[in-house]
Structure 1
Amino acid sequence: MFKKLFIFTSFCSAIIFSLPSFSNEEKLVLKQDYPSNYTVKKGDTLWDISALFLDNPWFWPKLWKINPEINNPHLIYPGDELSLTWQNGNPVLSVKPLKKLSPKMRTVIKEPVPTLPTSLVVPYLQSDRLIDATNYKEAYRVLGTSDGRKFLSGNERVYVDAELEHKEWGIYRTVNEFSRKDTKETSYALRLVGLAELAETTKEMSGLKVIKQQQEIAINDVVLPITSGDINKELTTTFYPQPAPKGMGVSILGSIDGGEYLAVNQVAVIDRGTNDGLLQGSMFSLKEEGNVVKGNKGEYYYDLDKGKNKNSLQLPQTKIGELIVIRPYEKFSLALITRSEMPIHKGVIAISPNKE
C-alpha cells in the first residue's frame, strides 16, 4: 500500500505544475471566521480543511502555495501546520511539516489526508464500476454451479462460458443501465459480488474457485478480469477539488443502484466523462430550475408546461448543493453529492461553478 502511495506521489509531482488556471473574474472568497493557522488532525479530509478557509472549497488549488520542502506540495499529513498569509493582496496557504523527512520516508511513515472520507470513495475505485455497451455485450457470463447453489464453499466451482487464461476474476451483478441523450450511448452499472481464481479450463468453459463472496452468485452475472491496471494510478483517494470546465453542464442520470433521489454522501451517475474534459475532482454546482409564471398582475399562475413566451416569466434557479467527480470513465462518471439542501433528482441542473 505504501509503495502505491509513493508511486502516486511521483505522479502528482509530475502534474503539480499543470493545475487548472483561474481567471481574474473568479474571486477567491475566504470564510469570515477563517483560521490563521490550523494543525491537521487524524481523520481530517482535504474537503473539510478547504471548507475551513473557503466559501467555495473547489478553489483549493488557487489558495494552496507550492512548498519546495515537500516532494509533493499537495499532500498534507496529520501533524502538519497550515498557515494563511497574504502575498500581493492575495491569500496564500502554506504548510509547515511536523518533521523534516525525505519524501520516501514520509510516505512510508504515514498516509496523506484524503480528499473525502475513504469509505465513500474506495468502493467506487475498487468494486462498483461502469462499463460501456460494447464491453458489456462481449463480457464473459456465469453459467452457474453444478448443483445450482448460489453461495459456495472454498472447494466448489462456478463455471464461466469461455476458455480463460487469466488467474484473478471479479464477478459482477448488473444493477442499472444509463443512456446519454446527446450520443445515445449506454453504460451499465456493475456491483462486485465476488472474487475468484481460475481453477480449470476447457475450450467450452472454465471453472473458477470463489475466494471471496459478498452476495449470491447467479447465472448470467458478468465476469471480468482483475488486473493491476484495473485501478488507474491517476485514481486515488487524494486528488484536487477543482471547478469543472467552464460552461459545462451535465445531466444527473440517477444513483448507481437505480434510486430516484440522492442525498449527501450518495453517488450519482452523470452523462459526461474524460472524453468531455472531466477529471477526478471536477466540481459542479447543483441548481433547481425555477418555475415559469404566466398571467396578468393579480392573476399569476404557474405554467406546468414551462412554455416560455412574451407573457411568461422565468423565476431564477436556486442553488441547492454540490457534487464532485470521484471516478470518471470515458463517457460517463460517478460523482459524490458533497452538499444538498433538498433531495437531488434527475431534474436538478448540474453546472460548472465557473459559470456563476
Structure 2
Amino acid sequence: MRRQKMDARGTRASQATRYMALVAIMVTAVAPWAGAVKAEPTGAQDSVVTLSPRLRFLPLEQQQSPVDISARAQALMNYRIIEAGTEAPSAYVVSGSEGRLLSGAGDQVLARHVQGRPGQRFGLYTPGAMLEDDQGRALGQVMIRQGVVRLERLGSPLSTLTVEKSPREVSAGAHLMALDGWVPPAQLIPKAAPEGTLGRIIDRPGAGQMVGLRDIVVIDLGRQRVTPGMRLRVQGEAESVTDPVTHESLALDGGVLGELLVVRTFEQASLALVTRAGLPMATGNRVEATGDD
C-alpha cells in the first residue's frame, strides 16, 4: 500500500513537471509576437500558469492607391514624340491600291522609301504639333498614329503594304515608322514630383487647346525631370487688379485647375493624363509639383 502511494505521488509530480515544461515552451513560442506575457501562479507550487498575451500593432506606411489608366491605353499608344534633332521618317504612303485616295483595314497601300522585310509591321503616323518651350527652343514633334500596316512586297520605288488595323481612313502622305513596342501599364502608383518641378502644358495632340478630364496632354518636362507616376497640379495664371483707393496693383492667384499624372517620358517632353479637372484648362497652363506629399 505504501509503495502504491509513493508511485501515485511520483506520477503526479512527473505530470506536473511535464505540464510546466509544456507551459515554458508555449511562453517561448508566444513571446516574440506578443507585446507582453504575464504569468500568474495560482497554486501553492506554481503548478498552474495563466497566460495573458497582448499583440502589438505596427502602423503600415501610407501608400497612394493605384490609378487605373487601362481605359486610355490605346489612345496613349497612338502618340509618340520625335526628338528635336532626330531625322524625320522618310517612308510615306503614296496612294491606296488602284489609285485610291483613302484606305481602311484590309486594303493595300503603296509607299515609297520603305526599308524592311516582308511581314514587318509599321505604324502609320500623321505629323502633329511642333513642340517648343517658353524660350522657343525646339523640343520635338508629336506624331499621331492612324493605324498599323504589314509589309507584303518590298519594291523600288514603290512597296506594297496591307492595312491591318486603322480606327480612321488612311490617307496619302501618312508616314511609316517602326513600331516602338511601348505598352502603357494598366495601373500607375502616384508619387510626388520633386519640389521645384515647374513646366507647362504645350499640346493636346490633335484636339485643339482646351483640356478636360481624361485628356492626354504633352508637357515640356523630359525624363531627366519627371518619371511615370509623378503627379503634377495645373496652376491657373495669376491676375492683377487695381485697388481703387490706393491704386496699387494687387495679384490674384489663379488657383489649382486640375491634376496630371505623368504616363510616358521622352528626352525633352512627356505624355500625361488629366486625372482631376476642377476648372477649365488649356495648353499654356503652368504645371508644378503638388507639394502635399
**TM-score for both structures, normalised by structure 1:** 0.58
Question: Partner of 2:110 in structure 1?
Answer: 158
Deviations 1:104-137 (A, max 9, x none): xxxxxxxxx962241123421x322222244462
Look up the SS of the partner of 1:220 in the other structure.
coil
Look up the SS of the partner of 1:162 in the other structure.
coil
Separation in structure 1 between the aligned mates of residue 98 and residue 198 of structure 2, nearest angstrom: 51
Separation in structure 1 between the aligned mates of residue 154 and residue 259 of structure 2, nearest angstrom: 48
Paired residues for 1:135-154 under 5 Å: 135=86, 137-149=88-100, 150-152=102-104, 154=106
Any unmatched runs of 5+ in structure 2? 1-55
Look up the SS of the partner of 1:120 in the other structure.
helix
Question: Partner of 2:80 in structure 1?
Answer: 129
One of 144, 159, 172 as aligned partner of 1:219: 172
- Is the 8 Å Cα contact of residues 96 and 107 (structure 2) preserved in structure 1? no
Question: Partner of 1:282 in structure 2?
Answer: 230
Separation in structure 2 between the aligned mates of residue 133 and residue 287 of structure 1, nearest angstrom: 27
Separation in structure 1 between the aligned mates of residue 133 and residue 291 of structure 2, nearest angstrom: 23
Deviations 1:39-66 (A, max 9, x none): xxxxxxxxxxxxxxxxxxxxxxxxxxxx
Instruction: Determine whether 1:188 maps to 2:125.
Output: no
Question: Partner of 2:286 in structure 1?
Answer: 349
Instruction: Determine whether 1:92 maps to 2:61.
Output: yes
Separation in structure 1 between the aligned mates of residue 251 and residue 206 of structure 2, nearest angstrom: 34
CA separation of 1:331/1:153 partners in 2, compared to 1, >3 Å: closer, same or farther? closer
Any unmatched runs of 5+ in structure 1? 1-84, 95-112, 301-310
Task: Please state which structure has a larger fraction of its residues in strand.
Answer: 2
Q: CA RMSD in A?
A: 2.9
- Is the 8 Å Cα contact of residues 244 and 284 (structure 1) preserved in structure 2? yes
Separation in structure 2 between the aligned mates of residue 135 and residue 332 of structure 1, nearest angstrom: 14
- Is the 8 Å Cα contact of residues 293 and 315 (structure 1) preserved in structure 2? yes
- Is the 8 Å Cα contact of residues 293 and 314 (structure 1) preserved in structure 2? yes
Question: Partner of 1:20 in structure 2?
Answer: none
- Is the 8 Å Cα contact of residues 235 and 258 (structure 2) preserved in structure 1? yes
Deviations 1:69-113 (A, max 9, x none): xxxxxxxxxxxxxxxx974xx66359xxxxxxxxxxxxxxxxxx9
In the alignment of these two chains, the number of paired residues is 235
Identity of aligned residues (%): 20
Flag as ranges the 4+ runs of structure 1 deviating above 6 A: none
- Is the 8 Å Cα contact of residues 262 and 270 (structure 2) preserved in structure 1? yes
CA separation of 1:230/1:215 partners in 2, compared to 1, >3 Å: closer, same or farther? same
CA separation of 1:114/1:244 partners in 2, compared to 1, >3 Å: closer, same or farther? closer
Separation in structure 1 between the aligned mates of residue 104 and residue 244 of structure 2, nearest angstrom: 70
Separation in structure 2 between the aligned mates of residue 284 and residue 152 of structure 1, nearest angstrom: 39
